[in-house]
Amino acid sequence: MFLPRLINALLEERSISGGNFINRMIANKQVIDVINGDIDAIPFPCYDNFDINCYRAGFLSMLASRGCVSSCAFCADNQIWKPYRGRSVDNILSEITMHYDHGFHVFEFNDSAINGNTRVLTDLCRGIIKSKIKLTWLGNFIPRKGMPRELFAIMAQSGCYELRFGVETGSQRIHRSMHKIVDLTSAEGYLRYAHEEGIHVSVNIMVGFPNEEQADFDMTLDFLERTKASIEKFSVVLPFLIYPMSEVDQCPERFGIKIPEDQHSRKEYQHWYTDEGNTLELRLQRLDTVVKFAHANGIQVGFTRAEF
């Protein structure tokens, strides 16, 4: 297995096969504090020993930042990555250019939110345009306030072909409960702007947050009805699950969550309930309603978890 070999190589300060960028770190005695240090100092991953023809042709995942500007109660990203910090535009462009020269022309940014820093995103897009390299890219987008209309135009010009919008719910009340910095009025505009610029619009939907009432769910359906003309796909449609290390996982009582005794050993709680009647059965019913809405309106459905 690779991880034990990597640990031993680091401890013994010797090289390891299939890990060129790690070998450079070992040779230079380059130990990086990825929490408090400069993440521009992290060497670029090198795929020289990989036959890219064995993978999705020309497709590569990368990160332009660590952490997230939001602190969603259902997510563990901030527990894992700690504070939000981004790479410099020059550093990101250098990595893109290196991989592009090795045959990778499609880039998926796996950042929690590609628009964590709007200035950096804008400058990155301008840098890609100025470089004249022909690539396409996609990423996660948090629909918070303050995203200018022209941002979507410049993203499209730089090769953005898909944005996954973390909408989750059409209820602003539930967003406040989630501690998610989404503004639904702005979100409606963003979906339309992206669609008008030719960017594929994907939306993440989560049903059954602990204090979600029928009125909140109806607001989600209303939001989708108002924006369906702009939406290509529901990239994720999920009933609310308790993810390890999230705030909800650490403090379930704060959200009124009850967990059956036989579920306490599970890595991912799904059979939780509330005294107000939020049960797995109800959540699956709401999920089914959203999926049927998608099918009725010609919207693709990506990952969904309708079976347990």
Q: What is the pTM of this model?
A: 0.87
The per-residue pLDDT for 261 is: 76
Q: Please, which pLDDT band fits residue 10 given cuts at 50, 70 and 90?
A: low
Residue 128 belongs to a domain: yes
Q: Where are the alpha helices (DSSP H) in 182-267?
A: 184-196, 214-227, 247-250
The per-residue pLDDT for 267 is: 47
Residue 279 belongs to a domain: yes
In tens, the pLDDT along 176-201 reads 999 999 999 999 999 999 999 999 99
The per-residue pLDDT for 13 is: 62
Give the closest residue to 182 by CA, choosing from 158, 154, 159, 209. Answer: 209
Residue 11 belongs to a domain: no
User: What number of residues does the chain have?
Assistant: 308
| C-alpha radius of gyration, the chain, whole number | 21
Give CA–CA dist 129/186, Å, rounded.
26
Output DSSP code: residue 45: P
pLDDT averaged over every residue in the chain: 89
In tens, the pLDDT along 87-103 reads 999 999 999 999 999 88
The per-residue pLDDT for 78 is: 83
Residue 18 belongs to a domain: no
Q: Where are the alpha helices (DSSP H) in the chain?
A: 2-12, 20-27, 77-81, 89-101, 118-131, 149-157, 172-178, 184-196, 214-227, 247-250, 280-296
Residue 17 belongs to a domain: no
Give CA–CA dist 51/101, Å, rounded.
15
pLDDT cut 90: percent of the chain above it: 71
How many domains is the chain partitioned into structurally?
1
The 10 Å Cβ neighbour count of residue 150 is: 10
Q: Please, which pLDDT band fits residue 292 given cuts at 50, 70 and 90?
A: very high
Q: Is the pLDDT of residue 17 over 70?
A: no
Q: Is the pLDDT of residue 213 over 90?
A: yes
**Can you give the residue range of the structural domain that contains 181?**
32-304
CATH number, domain of 278, equals: 3.20.20.70
Is the separation of the CB atoms in 188 and 145 below 8 Å? Answer: no
Residue 22 belongs to a domain: no
Residue 216 belongs to a domain: yes
Give the closest residue to 136 by CA, choosing from 117, 115, 161, 157. Answer: 161
Q: Is the pLDDT of residue 34 over 70?
A: no
Q: Quick one: the chain helix, strand, coil %, rounded to 5?
A: 45, 15, 40
In tens, the pLDDT along 111-165 reads 999 999 999 999 999 999 999 999 999 999 999 999 999 999 999 999 999 999 9
Residue 115 belongs to a domain: yes
Which range has the worst mean pLDDT, 47-56, 90-99, 294-303?
47-56
The per-residue pLDDT for 308 is: 47
Question: Structure tokens of 155?
Answer: 């993203």
Show Cβ contacts of residue 256 under 8 Å, excluding neighbours closer than 6 positions: 210, 211, 274, 275, 276
- Mean pLDDT to the nearest integer, 271-292: 96
- Mean pLDDT to the nearest integer, 256-274: 77
The per-residue pLDDT for 235 is: 96
In tens, the pLDDT along 230-257 reads 999 999 999 999 988 899 999 999 999 9
In tens, the pLDDT along 37-51 reads 689 998 999 887 778
The per-residue pLDDT for 51 is: 80
